[in-house]
Amino acid sequence: MPRQERPYRVIISGGGTGGHIYPAVAIANRLREVNPEAEILFVGAQGRMEMTRVPEAGYKIVGLWISGLQRRLTLDNLSFPLKVLKSVRASHKIIKDFKPDAVVGVGGYASGPLLYAATSRGIPALIQEQNSYAGITNKLLAKRVQKVCVAYPGMEAFFPADKIVLTGNPVRSDIMNLEGKREEALQHFGLSTEKKTILVIGGSLGARTINQSIAANLQSIADAGCQLIWQTGKAFFSQAQELEAKYKTEGIRALDFITRMDLAYAAADAVVSRAGALSISELCLAGKPAVLVPSPNVAEDHQTKNAMALVQQEAALLVRDSESMEKLVPKALQLLEDEKEQQRLHQNILKMACPNAATDIVNELVKLIK
C-alpha cells in the first residue's frame, strides 16, 4: 500500500476484554505503519481494562460512562438508558472536537454510542467482529456502517452480505515470529529446557474453572515431569502463588498477567485455553496444539461455536467447562505424550491462521477514508 501524505484522523472504539482491546491496538499499529502521522484516538468504557491497556500501548483514550445490560434486574440496568443517552451525547462532542475521517468499532460497550453518533453525522464507519457468533452491539451497528470485517466464514447470518469482508482477527505481531525463541522463552520464565511445558491461559480476566482444575491437579502435572506457565488472572492469583511456592522446584510458574505472550507461546509444547476469538487467532498463528475449554458465561455460547470451528477441522481438542475438573489435566498430559497428535493439530491449526488481518482491515479503512 503506498504511504499517504495527509495524516488520517481515526477513532477506534470498544473494549471490555483483551479480545476486543488487542485487535484494536493491532489495527492502530498497522495504520501508523501505513500513515505514520495518523492521529488515532481510542474511546472506551470508564473503569474497564482498555483505560489502562491502551495508554500502555502508547495511544490516547477517552472513557464513556457506559456498561452492558445485566441478565438479571440490577441498579446498573435501571441506569442503563441514562448511560446510553449520556454516552451518545459525549460521543457527539468527541466527534465534533476530534473531526475523524473514519471510525472503527471493535465490539464492547463503548462502540455502540460512539458509532451511532458517528454514523448519524455521516462519518464512514467499519466494525470488526472477532467471534463466529456476532455480538448484539455489532449486529445493531451493521445496518449503519459501510464495512464489516469478520474472522469466520458464514457471517451472512448476522450481517448484510454485501458489507462483509473476511479478514481474520488482528493479533500482536510478535506472535507471528516465534522461530528460535524457545530457549530465551524458557529462560524468561525460569524453566528447564529438559521438560515439556504446558501453557494455561484463561483469557485476560482469568478463568475460574480452568484455574480450579489446574490447582486440583498440580500433583499430576508434577508427577508427569511437566512444567507449567499458568496465567491466572487477578482474582485467583494469590491462591495460585501459594501453590506455586509449594511446587516451585517442579517448574510451576503462576502469573496474573503475561506481558510477553510471544515468549509464553514459544515455551509451550501444548496450550490449555478458553476459546475467546483472540486466543484462537493467536493459537492459529502460533501453530500450537491446544485443548480448548469454552467459557459457558458468554453471550449466545459463542466460545463453544469458536472452538467447534477448530475441532471440526481437527485443529484443536475440546473439553467442556462442566467436565474440566476430571478431564482437563489428563487430556493435556495425554496430548504432551502423543507427538503424532501434536503434529497433526499443529499442521491443521496453522492452515486456519490469517497473518494479514490487520493489513486487510486497514486497507478497507483507507478505502473508506478516500
Separation of alpha carbons 39 and 32, rounded Å: 9
What mean pLDDT comes out for the span 7-25? Answer: 90
Cα→Cα distances 77→2, 47, 88, 238, Å:
48, 17, 17, 32
| DSSP code for 156 | G
Q: pLDDT value at position 4?
A: 45
**Cβ count within 10 A of residue 65:** 17
Cell numbers 482491546: residue? 21
Helix (H) or strand (E) holding 154: none
Q: pLDDT confidence of 72, banded at 50, 70, 90? A: low
pLDDT tens sequence across 123-171: 999 999 998 888 888 999 999 999 999 998 889 999 999 999 999 999 8
Cell numbers 452480505: residue? 161
Separation of alpha carbons 240 and 246, rounded Å: 10
Q: pLDDT value at position 205?
A: 63
The one-letter amino acid code at 51 reads M
pLDDT tens sequence across 263-316: 999 999 999 999 988 899 999 999 999 999 999 888 778 899 899 989 999 999
Q: pLDDT value at position 75?
A: 63
Chain-centre distance for alpha carbon 208: 18
Provide the mean pLDDT of the chain.
91
* Nearest Cα residue to 236 out of 274, 205, 259, 265: 205
Helix (H) or strand (E) holding 4: none
Q: Kindly give, in sequence order, each residue whose CB lies less than 8 Å from that of residue 39, ignoring residues fewer than 6 positions away.
A: 7, 8, 9, 10, 98
Report the predicted TM-score, pTM, of the whole model to 2 decimal places: 0.82
pLDDT tens sequence across 42-61: 999 998 889 999 999 999 99
Separation of alpha carbons 126 and 332, rounded Å: 39
pLDDT tens sequence across 313-356: 999 999 999 999 999 999 999 999 999 999 999 999 999 999 99
